[in-house]
Amino acid sequence: MTETTTNRWDEFMEGIWKQNPIFVMTLGMCPTLAVTVSAVNALSMGLATTFVLMASCALVSMMRNIVPKEVRIATYIVIIATFVTSVDYLIQAISLRLYDALGAFIQLIVVNCIILGRAEAHASKNPLLPAVTNALGMGVGFTIGLLSLGTVREILGSGTLFGVPLFGEHFQPWVIMVLPPGGFFVLGAWLLLFAWRARRAQRKLAEATHHA
Amino acid sequence: MHEAPFQIFVNAFLANNFVLAMFLGLCPFLGVSGRLDTAFPMGVATTFVMLVASVCAYGLNLLLGALHLEFLRLISYIVIIASAVQLVEMVMKKYSPSLFRALGIFLPLITTNCAVLGVALFQTARDYDFVQSLTFSLGAGAGFTLALVLMASVRQRLQLSNVVGLAEGTALSLMLAGILSLSFMGFAGLGG
Amino acid sequence: MSEQTMPAAQTPTVAMIRTLGLVAAICGLIIVGAYEGTYDAVTANKKLAIERSVYQVVPEAKSVVEYHALPGGDVVPAGDAKTPDGAIRFFAGYDADGKLVGVAAEAGAKGYADTVRIMFGYRPDCQCINGISVVSMRETPGVGDKIRSDKKFLANFDKLDVRLKDDMSALAHDVVTVKHGTKTDPWQIDAISGATITSRAVGRGIDAAAQALLPKLVPNLNKLASKS
């Protein structure tokens, strides 16, 4: 029993740290840079993608034994497109303002490589519960990545966080942060940070084995 | 919208470059732009798929609108794009097998290129007519190719220079892309 | 848990068609379900958004009626019908007594990043536009999005002259955006300094919309005079 529980947790955590879709696998770049202009947009996009990811992986997993391998990619794409269309209408029903802010990128979730990749690599080979757990982990990892970009860009570029102004009247927002170049720079900065941490950890490990 | 076709082309090509301003087509942009000789054919192949997708999307939109089946729009667009990519793959395999092998996995990945679906979705959202849609997809494809080629040229040069080891790889590409994007902002307003 | 080993042979066509058909059926059900389930909420949201902008530009209105200006020159109440091809929709605002106080219509043009959509309010008695409201835009924060808040820019629309020529075929003077500080005539819009592109988009949008709608609207004002 403990073995299966550990596996379930590992599967969930895999998508958050070790195989974080944004920072490690560099997938799903397009929405990452486009909608992370504010924290709210980033969070909504993350939630929408997680929903599509979980629903698609669930359906793919349930049908994994009857889908012929010749047409599997086409089938996965149709399934993903179905759920994306549903999420599209759902967001319109919830908030037109949010829908307008996210724009075409809601429908572009369908070509987010993360979803197709997960369906092909994992959901098509695993039963329902592991597939959905892994999808949830990936989705959460993606959302965390989006949020880390969205918060930085919103704080620096608009001086607010989730719409709440943080600084006084005299704060000069660094507008470039909410423009396209800013997206590239912030993501590059995050990757540099992770690379630096990895390098430091490696060096510490090398020193430790040296002294041993 | 009463935009002239030329305006639409210049806009999609430079001022609102699909990659550097609208963030579409980033996966291949960061993945294939390592070498100039693969970057350019990739751009051309993608442009061709965009053209086919644009024309089909225009027709599909009319059909779905007439049948009041708008909710099938996304599915039909993506299926058309997948088919167009299959077509390009078959043609390339027959007429240029070396290129086919060089592009490898990135050729079928054009299906998940947000830029191609983006062309179809944007032209629908902006209600472009047939000529406008064609020029839009041409401009988008040309802009994508331009961004890819620029990136490839710079990265090829950088391979021979001293780059801080920490920044190698994706981080460097992103910084480069940021600078390119910044410079393209200078085209704002071009084309009216 | 032993997984069934798939046979290495090609799947028969019948099996493929059957599976694809099943997938299509399931997906079709999901999509239609989502569409129907959210339809009411979506329509309500859209109506709310439109009405909010209309009341912003025609503040004295107590009720709003949607009309279609048909290509033939006629003006008919819209009811629940979608806008026919070539027709322009606008919103007539009536006060508590059912008298026409103003007309709201949509305008849009490409700005810096994407389309800038606005709603403007037209007053028949002064033949002018006396207010705009930004419906949607994707302009640069702190630069282009000043069209929402910049008081001097919004003052352009207190009495923007859009009267028609004597033969009512077009505007007497095209609405045009001019460089900041160079406005001389009431049909010009003074751009926001440093946000020329977005300001020009507003001007182009209003000009196009007014040129298309007003020659059809003004001759039919008597039809709108009282709430039907």
Query: pLDDT tens digits for B37-57?
Result: 888 888 888 998 999 999 999
For C32, name the nearest residue in chain B, comparing CA atoms only: B71
Smallest CA–CA distance, residue C109 to chain B, in Å, is 7
CB-CB under 8 Å, A77 with B170: no
Question: What is the model's pLDDT at position A48?
Answer: 93
d(CA C190, CA C176): 9
Q: Decide if C14 is inside a domain.
A: no
Residue C12 pLDDT > 80? no
Inform me whether the C-beta atom of residue B3 falls under 8 Å from chain C C-beta atoms.
Answer: yes
Inform me whether the C-beta atom of residue C113 falls under 8 Å from chain A C-beta atoms.
Answer: no
d(CA B86, CA A138): 29
Residue B120 pLDDT > 70? yes
Q: Decide if C52 is inside a domain.
A: yes
List the domain range (segments joined by +) for residue C153: 44-224
Residue C2 pLDDT > 50? no
* pLDDT bracket for residue C10 (50, 70, 90): low
Phi, psi of A64, rounded to the nearest 5 degrees: -65, -25
Residue B165 pLDDT > 90? no
Q: How many domains does chain C have?
A: 1
Question: What is the model's pLDDT at position A49?
Answer: 93
Residue A166 pLDDT > 50? yes
3-state SS assignment for residue B31: helix
Residue type, position B155, single letter:
R
What is the pLDDT averaged over residues C206-217? Answer: 88
Question: What is the model's pLDDT at position B191?
Answer: 61
C188-190 vs C176-178, strand pairing mode: parallel
Question: What is the model's pLDDT at position B156?
Answer: 84
d(CA C225, CA C222): 5
d(CA C140, CA C195): 9
Mean pLDDT, chain B, rounded, equals 85
* pLDDT bracket for residue A191 (50, 70, 90): confident
Among B28, B14, B21, B15, smallest CA distance to B151 is for B28
Question: What is the model's pLDDT at position B127?
Answer: 83
Mean pLDDT, chain C, rounded, equals 83
Residue B6 pLDDT > 80? yes
Name which of C35, C113, C197 is nearest B71 (Cβ-Cβ).
C35
Phi, psi of A18, rounded to the nearest 5 degrees: -60, -40
CB-CB under 8 Å, B1 with C109: yes
Q: How far is CA C63 from the centre of its chain?
A: 18
B neighbours by CB contacts (3+ pairs under 8 Å): A, C
Q: Which has more pLDDT, A170 or B92?
A: B92
What is the pLDDT averaged over residues A132-160? Answer: 88
Q: Which has more pLDDT, C4 or A13?
A: A13
3-state SS assignment for residue C78: coil
Mutate which of B16, B64, B71 to test chain C, going by most C C-beta atoms within 10 A? B71
Question: What is the model's pLDDT at position A79?
Answer: 92
From residue B89, give the alpha-carbon distance in Å to each of B49, C62, C137. 10, 61, 39
For B126, name the nearest residue in chain C, comparing CA atoms only: C115
Question: What is the model's pLDDT at position C11?
Answer: 62
Question: What is the model's pLDDT at position C8?
Answer: 45
The residue extents of the domains of chain A are: 2-211
Contact predicate C159/C186, CB 8 Å: yes
Q: Which has more pLDDT, B17 or A14?
A: B17
Helices (H), B96-187: 97-103, 114-125, 130-158, 170-184
ipTM above 0.85, yes or no: no
Q: Which has more pLDDT, C117 or A7?
A: C117
In B, which residues are within 8 Å of A74 by CB distance? 79, 82
Question: What is the model's pLDDT at position A4?
Answer: 47
Question: What is the model's pLDDT at position A91?
Answer: 92
pLDDT digits over C132-148, tens only? Answer: 888 888 777 667 778 88
Highest-pLDDT range among A85-94, B3-12, C186-195: A85-94
Q: Number of helices and strands (H, E) in chain B?
A: 8, 0
HSE toward the beta carbon, residue A56, CA cutoff 13 A: 35
CB-CB under 8 Å, B1 with C108: yes
The residue extents of the domains of chain B are: 5-183
Q: Decide if C19 is inside a domain.
A: no
Question: What is the model's pLDDT at position C3?
Answer: 44
pLDDT digits over C212-222, tens only? Answer: 888 888 888 88
pLDDT digits over C47-93, tens only? Answer: 888 888 899 888 888 888 888 888 887 888 887 777 777 788 889 88
